[in-house]
């Protein structure tokens, strides 16, 4: 596993590897340094009370880390982190398409940078933006709230609302295996899948009663999704046929 920042908080956290591909959900309910070091983890930055939310590595050297009101950048694999204040509170997710261009969603705002995170400007003021992902410099998505998905085709200058079908399910995670095929995780084990870059979505019932907070597809057929249910029981499910069946 790639080295990364150890997020020590009694909460659900998400770890990203190269190019922002989710690795696995890390449920850090117990922060025990001796156990973590035996498993190959070491504290690289922060303290056991640090409130970091998301980490995004564009390659093995360059990455960004967010907490509630700040973004930190590294250019040496996490040995050093440079803080930068976005000017906005409530950062929830971060995504970079290259070393210069990236986006942050704060819950109420979508922010963009074109200089590697040194400066950020507002693109949209709208509630319930919790996750952001771009498939190229122009086409991107934000999700959050009750089946609310927004799509842009001009780098975030304009956003349109995409229908996710009928229902009233909260959305928690988003992942694209390529430019056209993508997944959105919801509650009660529901997944939404697109094969035309988000224009249309179909609903897939995985058969578990789990809020799916993380999705990863290393190939078009093989994938994992994971999260926890309403009583806090964690679960990871697996598919080997492109999401048709899950175990």
Q: Which helix (H) or strand (E) holds 36?
A: helix 33-38
Contact partners, residue 189, CB within 8 Å, separation at least 6: 205, 206, 207, 208, 209, 210, 212, 237
CA distance 223 to 22: 11
Bridge partner residues of 148 (DSSP): 144
- On average, the pLDDT of the chain sits at 83
pLDDT band for position 57 (50/70/90)? very high
> Is the separation of the CB atoms in 151 and 140 below 8 Å?
yes
pLDDT digits (tens, 9 = 90+) for 80-126: 999 888 888 888 999 999 999 999 999 889 999 999 999 999 999 88
pLDDT digits (tens, 9 = 90+) for 34-48: 445 456 677 777 765
| Span 194-205, average pLDDT | 95
Query: What is the model's pLDDT at position 27?
Result: 35
What SS3 class is residue 35? helix
Which has the higher per-residue pLDDT, 166 or 216?
216
pLDDT band for position 67 (50/70/90)? confident
Query: What is the model's pLDDT at position 26?
Result: 37
Q: Which range among 22-26, 66-70, 226-230 shows the weakest confidence by mean pLDDT?
A: 22-26
pTM of structure: 0.82
Buried b (16+ CB within 10 A) or exposed e, 145-157: eebbbbbbeebbe
Q: Would the pLDDT of 201 be above 60? A: yes
Look at residues 181, 205, 245, 237 and name the one whose alpha carbon lies nearest to residue 25: 237
Query: What is the model's pLDDT at position 42?
Result: 73
Query: What is the model's pLDDT at position 38?
Result: 52
Query: What is the model's pLDDT at position 245?
Result: 94
Share of the chain above pLDDT 70, in %: 82
Which has the higher per-residue pLDDT, 163 or 180?
180
Query: What is the model's pLDDT at position 173?
Result: 95
| Span 149-159, average pLDDT | 96
């Amino acid at each position: 596993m790639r080295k990364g920042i150890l997020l020590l908080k009694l909460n659900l956290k998400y770890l990203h590897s190269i190019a922002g591909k989710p690795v696995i959900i890390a449920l850090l309910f117990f922060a025990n340094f001796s156990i973590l070091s035996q498993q190959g983890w070491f504290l690289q930055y922060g303290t056991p009370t640090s409130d970091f939310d998301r980490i995004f590595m564009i390659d093995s050297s360059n990455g960004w880390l967010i907490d509630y009101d700040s973004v930190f950048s590294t250019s040496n694999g996490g040995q050093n982190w440079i803080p930068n204040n976005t000017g906005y509170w409530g950062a929830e997710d971060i995504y970079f398409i290259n070393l210069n261009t990236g986006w942050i969603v704060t819950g109420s705002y979508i922010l963009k940078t074109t200089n590697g995170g040194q400066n950020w400007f507002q693109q949209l003021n709208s509630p319930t933006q919790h996750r952001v992902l771009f498939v190229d410099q122009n086409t991107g998505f934000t999700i959050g709230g009750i089946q609310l998905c927004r799509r842009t085709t001009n780098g975030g200058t304009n956003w349109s609302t995409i229908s996710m079908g009928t229902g009233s399910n909260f959305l928690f995670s988003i992942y694209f295996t390529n430019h056209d095929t993508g997944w959105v995780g919801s509650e009660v084990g529901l997944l939404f899948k697109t094969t035309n870059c988000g224009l249309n979505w179909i609903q897939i019932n995985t058969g578990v009663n789990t809020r799916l907070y993380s999705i990863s597809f290393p190939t078009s057929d093989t994938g994992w999704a994971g999260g926890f249910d309403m009583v806090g029981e964690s679960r990871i499910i697996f598919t080997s046929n492109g999401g048709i069946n899950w175990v």
